[in-house]
């Protein structure tokens, strides 16, 4: 069922410790059990499994439970051992796991959505389960009565969710590329703001309540940090992935952001450094360097008897430029560009060699990563995806050694 790979050598990359196999379909979520050598997985094969590490070093399922519909997501609360499973049919099912992790009892089924549940958070403080679904809604239900407290609809599928337990604010990402901030209350809600910055659907969110920072990953291959607490609209763009960013986690103690993408790419971003906001792209009918017309500027093309040029943008200054005036490529990590991007010739000349020093490290997970969880106190990470494989990693040397505190669990 599972293979032990090898013990933990001291290297500056994630070390694969174990590989768990046995699912017959995509594994949509996997979480590490705190203070236990165990993993909980949910899958499209309609199973919920609790894997415990045996004396042989292998992981074997101590709980193997089948439900009526494919499992799309989960929220596990370790102190109470309550687990909530989102399903493809729109239901959320609550179970209680025994202390020895060998038995699981059904508690309630919540009619949360009319379509697939995409993400979910259980709040013990308010006794709410907040969920998003492909019925284009976010709902919040009372776990004591099982009743629906409220629902809000969007114009696109709601794809991911984060929740601030103290303030009852919910961040909802959707397939249109927007993030909506809602204030949830019993029987009512209010829309605070909408965050726009991604050019593709939002795949994952992470909220750090200590620094009040929101992180988002999307199908445009980028990660954005939103400074919610600063109240100045400050955003930082980070580009280093080559595929859809599907999992992110911020480590508050070490000021590092870990992101994973669909192609198996893992990135560790140093957030404890000075970073600059990428500029907004400017609009112009002609190159802002040589003043040659772009191809839609018919009047200037006619007046000057010249052919129109294609418009590009300098990633450093945001100016609209032609290809001739932006022939150079360079990395510029301080603005989040970890691989070469287009810059105008003037900006290229201002970038020094030390400005190209990477502010992130990149690693290969060697499988599709749809979901990721971390236990910083032990330096462990678990990844899973459509290849039906669950991988457990030692990331101690990648994200720092003293991770015992300062981590905000989901």
Query: Tokens standing for 187?
Result: 């029987």
- Say if CB 257 and CB 268 are below 8 A apart: yes
pLDDT for res 305: 82
pLDDT for res 299: 79
Give me the average pLDDT of each 10-residue run along the chain (410 residues).
43 88 96 95 97 93 96 96 97 96 96 96 95 97 94 96 95 97 93 94 97 96 93 88 96 94 96 90 90 82 82 92 92 93 93 91 94 94 96 89 39
pLDDT for res 386: 93
Backbone angles phi, psi at 375, to 5 degrees: -120, 90
The kind and range of the H/E element at 396 are: helix 396-399
For domain 15-277+359-394, the question of CATH label 1.10.1040.10 is answered with: no
Q: Encode pLDDT of 49-96 as tens digits.
A: 999 999 998 999 999 999 999 999 999 999 999 999 999 999 999 999
Q: Which of 277, 164, 279 is nearest to 213 (CA)?
A: 164
* DSSP classification of residue 366: S
The torsion region of residue 118 among left (phi > 0), alpha (psi -120 to 50) and beta comes to alpha
Superfamily of domain 298-355: Zinc/RING finger domain, C3HC4 (zinc finger) (3.30.40.10)
Interacting residues of 100 by C-beta distance below 8 A, sequence separation 6+? none
Distance of alpha carbon 22 from alpha carbon 310, whole angstroms: 52
Sheet holding 178-185, edge to edge: 158-164, 169-174, 178-185, 188-196
Sign of the four-CA dihedral 290, 296, 300, 304: positive
pLDDT for res 92: 97
Distance of alpha carbon 357 from alpha carbon 346, whole angstroms: 20
């Amino acid at each position: 069922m599972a293979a032990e790979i090898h013990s933990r050598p001291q290297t500056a990359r994630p070390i694969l410790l174990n590989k768990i196999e046995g699912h017959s379909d995509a594994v949509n979520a996997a979480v590490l059990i705190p203070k236990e050598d165990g993993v909980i997985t949910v899958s499209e094969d309609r199973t919920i499994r609790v894997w415990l590490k045996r004396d042989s070093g292998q992981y074997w399922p101590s709980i193997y439970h089948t439900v009526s519909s494919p499992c799309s997501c989960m929220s596990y609360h370790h102190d109470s051992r309550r687990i909530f499973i989102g399903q493809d049919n729109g239901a959320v099912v609550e179970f209680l796991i025994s202390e020895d992790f060998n038995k699981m009892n059904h508690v309630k089924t919540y009619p949360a959505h009319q379509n697939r549940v995409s993400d979910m958070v259980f709040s013990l403080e308010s006794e709410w389960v907040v969920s998003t679904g492909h019925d284009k809604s976010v709902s919040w239900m009372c776990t004591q009565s099982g009743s629906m407290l409220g629902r809000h609809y969007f114009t696109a599928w709601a794809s991911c969710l984060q929740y601030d337990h103290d303030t009852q604010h919910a961040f909802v990402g959707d397939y249109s590329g927007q993030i909506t901030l809602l204030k949830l209350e019993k029987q009512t809600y209010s829309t605070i703001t909408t965050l726009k910055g991604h050019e593709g659907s939002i795949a994952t969110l992470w909220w750090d309540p200590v620094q009040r920072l929101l992180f988002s990953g999307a199908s445009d291959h980028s990660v954005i940090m939103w400074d919610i607490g600063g109240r100045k609209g400050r955003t930082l763009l980070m580009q280093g992935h080559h595929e859809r960013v599907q999992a992110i986690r911020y480590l508050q103690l070490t000021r590092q952001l870990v992101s994973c993408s669909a192609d198996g790419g893992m990135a560790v971003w140093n957030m404890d450094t000075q970073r600059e906001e990428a500029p907004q792209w400017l609009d112009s009918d002609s190159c802002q360097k040589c003043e040659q017309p772009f191809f839609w500027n018919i009047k200037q093309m006619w007046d000057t008897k010249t052919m129109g040029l294609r418009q590009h943008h300098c990633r450093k200054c945001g100016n609209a430029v032609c290809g001739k005036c932006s022939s150079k490529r360079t990395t510029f990590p301080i603005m989040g560009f970890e691989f070469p991007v287009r810059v105008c010739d003037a900006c290229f000349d201002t970038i020094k060699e030390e400005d190209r020093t990477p502010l992130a490290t990149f690693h290969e997970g060697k499988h599709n990563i749809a979901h990721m969880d971390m236990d910083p106190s032990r330096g462990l990470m678990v990844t899973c995806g459509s290849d039906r494989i669950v991988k457990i990693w030692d990331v101690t040397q990648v994200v720092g050694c003293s991770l015992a505190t300062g981590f905000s669990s989901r």
